[in-house]
């Protein structure tokens, strides 16, 4: 009999479970205040859906042994976009949806073996805003992200950095590179790999320009100015500037640093507009707390007429950032129901349910006690505040 969980899976203790639940409840409350309603995408999906039109590499999908090509969801955006374009197609737009649950990814270990990676995710999707409303939708979700940080108490103590990019801006920059070199150039830029840039089969002046582009990140207005000089005026830059302006004041008040990086792209290649990643400084290393972006093309693959924008929180990364004790509210006191002999079990059960009827927490002692003092000692050992004793 195996005594350890599967590689990549975890056993959570009660404090960790309570901390995760508290964080999810806090986020859900904010989502509801902003008009979002909950959906529950399936844990198991067809691989065609999970692949998201090539946006998620097949090696990262956890496949199931089944007659149909099925797998566990690595994220929830594709499933929600599919549902929005099918079962929810008749609902008025825009759709404001939120979800919470585990996602699973396949990772290769240092030895090359496949292992499972489980993550608890909570996030939102705003679907159905057409291209003329994209700026408003992006601004709404960025402000919602900041509202969630306020509720969770993430502020300048955690050194939060909101990293923004734009798929269209990166594409425009890559269009200046010969077609045969674009894939390799894109990979080198988004992984910030100067050695790969130096090895590209490009004129020296162009390689130097790409190295400068790789270093072009930081204060948004300065980066936007540099991009306008390089690309000229474009709708993507106008939208990116508008999105940044929509959160400038609020982010500064909350101590959230906004950084613009034209070469930034999230891990999954789902997005074709604004992209984002929120990083905070953990006790040992930076922690990625949230990520997301605009995915109009993904919605179109499922037959949708308008696009979508969303983000997801890594709940357990937030719990690690804030500390388990900080994310577990003080639990209500519990009463232990103790009794002197087996003939009093029925009375003990009646007393137990009387406590429950008053909305109080109570638990039953599983064996008789010789005295009330012994029952009190057991209550303290179990963390119960009081003992209700039923004597002979």
127 and 94 in contact (C-beta within 8 Å)? yes
Residue-range domain boundaries for the chain: 14-327, 334-390
Instruction: For 224-376, list the strands marked E by DSSP.
Output: 257-260, 274-281, 286-294, 308-314, 334-339, 361-364
Tens-digit pLDDT profile for residues 277-286: 999 999 889 9
Stated pTM of the model: 0.91
Rounded Cα gap, residues 55 and 51, in angstroms: 6
Rounded Cα gap, residues 105 and 140, in angstroms: 29
CA–CA–CA angle 101, 104, 106 (5° rounding): 170
Residue 374 burial class via C-beta count within 10 angstroms: exposed 0-12, middle 13-18, buried 19 and up: middle
Q: Which residues contact 42 (CB under 8 A, 6 or more apart)?
A: 73, 79
Kindly give the interhelix angle for 235-254 and 220-231, rounded to the nearest 10 degrees. Answer: 170
Q: Summarize the confidence of residues 162-183 as an average pLDDT.
A: 91
Tens-digit pLDDT profile for residues 173-193: 889 888 888 888 888 888 888
CATH class of 334-390: alpha beta
Q: What is the pLDDT of residue 269?
A: 86
14-327: CATH architecture: 2-Layer Sandwich (3.30)
| Confidence category of residue 205, pLDDT binned at 50, 70, 90 | confident
Closest CA to 96 of 32, 36, 30: 36
């Amino acid at each position: 009999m195996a005594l350890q969980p599967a590689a990549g899976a975890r056993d959570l203790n009660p404090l960790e479970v309570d901390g995760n639940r508290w964080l999810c409840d806090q986020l859900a409350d904010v989502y509801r205040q902003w008009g979002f309603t909950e959906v529950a995408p399936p844990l198991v999906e067809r691989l065609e859906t999970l692949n998201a039109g090539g946006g998620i590499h097949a090696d990262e999908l956890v496949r199931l042994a089944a007659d149909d090509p099925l797998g566990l969801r690595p994220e929830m955006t594709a499933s929600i976009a599919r549902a929005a374009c099918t079962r929810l197609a008749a609902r008025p737009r825009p759709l404001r949806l939120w979800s919470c649950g585990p996602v699973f990814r396949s990772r290769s270990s240092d030895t090359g073996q496949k292992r499972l990676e489980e993550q608890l995710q909570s996030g939102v999707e705003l679907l159905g805003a057409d291209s003329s409303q994209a700026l408003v939708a992006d601004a709404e979700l960025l402000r919602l992200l900041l509202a969630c940080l306020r509720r969770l108490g993430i502020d300048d103590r955690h050194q939060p950095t909101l990293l923004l990019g734009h798929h269209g801006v990166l594409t425009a920059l890559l269009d200046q590179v010969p077609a045969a070199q674009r894939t390799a150039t894109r990979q080198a830029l988004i992984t910030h790999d100067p050695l790969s840039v130096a090895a590209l089969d490009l004129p020296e002046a162009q390689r130097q320009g790409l190295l400068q582009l790789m270093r072009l990140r930081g204060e948004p207005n300065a980066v936007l100015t540099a991009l306008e000089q390089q690309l000229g005026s474009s709708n993507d830059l106008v939208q990116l500037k508008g999105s940044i302006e929509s959160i400038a004041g609020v982010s500064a008040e909350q101590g959230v640093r906004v950084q613009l990086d034209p070469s930034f792209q999230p891990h999954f290649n789902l997005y074709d507009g604004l992209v984002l990643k929120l990083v905070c400084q953990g006790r040992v290393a930076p922690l990625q707390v949230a990520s997301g972006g605009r995915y109009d093309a993904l919605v179109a693959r499922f037959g949708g007429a308008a696009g979508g924008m969303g983000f997801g929180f890594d709940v357990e990364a937030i719990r690690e950032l804030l500390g388990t004790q900080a994310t577990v509210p003080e639990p209500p006191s519990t009463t232990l129901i103790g009794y002197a002999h087996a003939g009093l079990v029925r009375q003990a059960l009646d007393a137990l349910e009387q406590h429950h009827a008053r909305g109080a927490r109570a638990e039953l002692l599983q064996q008789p006690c010789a005295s009330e003092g012994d029952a009190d000692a057991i209550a303290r050992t179990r963390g119960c505040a009081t003992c209700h004793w039923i004597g002979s």
